[in-house]
Amino acid sequence: MGRKKRGGYIFEWWMGDHTPKHVHVYKNGIQIAKIGIPNLIVLQGAMTKKLKKILQEMIKEKIL
């Protein structure tokens, strides 16, 4: 399991989880989105511009 806090969000992902590869996004302890990686497809919830920018940075840094 991976877990990272950035920009007020908590990102969680699991190695070997079901496909498609995705990350769960939490804010204030509540899941607000599930985003497909690396194409940033919203699988559940909604994505803001700020969240998209953070995810793009994390992908570029090879965290996700």
Query: For each of the chain's 64 residues, which pLDDT tens digit applies?
Result: 899 999 999 999 997 777 789 999 999 999 999 999 989 999 999 999 999 999 999 999 999 8
Overall number of domains in the chain: 1
pLDDT the model gives residue 1: 83
Q: What angle do CA 47, 63, 51 make, to 5 degrees?
A: 15
Q: What percent of the chain has pLDDT over 90?
A: 83
- Of 43, 45, 40, 41, the residue nearest 55 (C-alpha): 40
The boundaries of the domain holding residue 31 are 2-60
Pairwise CA distance, residues 32 & 41, whole Å: 14
**pTM of the complete model:** 0.88
Cis peptide leading into residue 38 (ω within 30°): yes
- Of 1, 2, 4, the residue nearest 54 (C-alpha): 4
CA-only gyration radius of the chain, Å: 11
pLDDT the model gives residue 8: 96
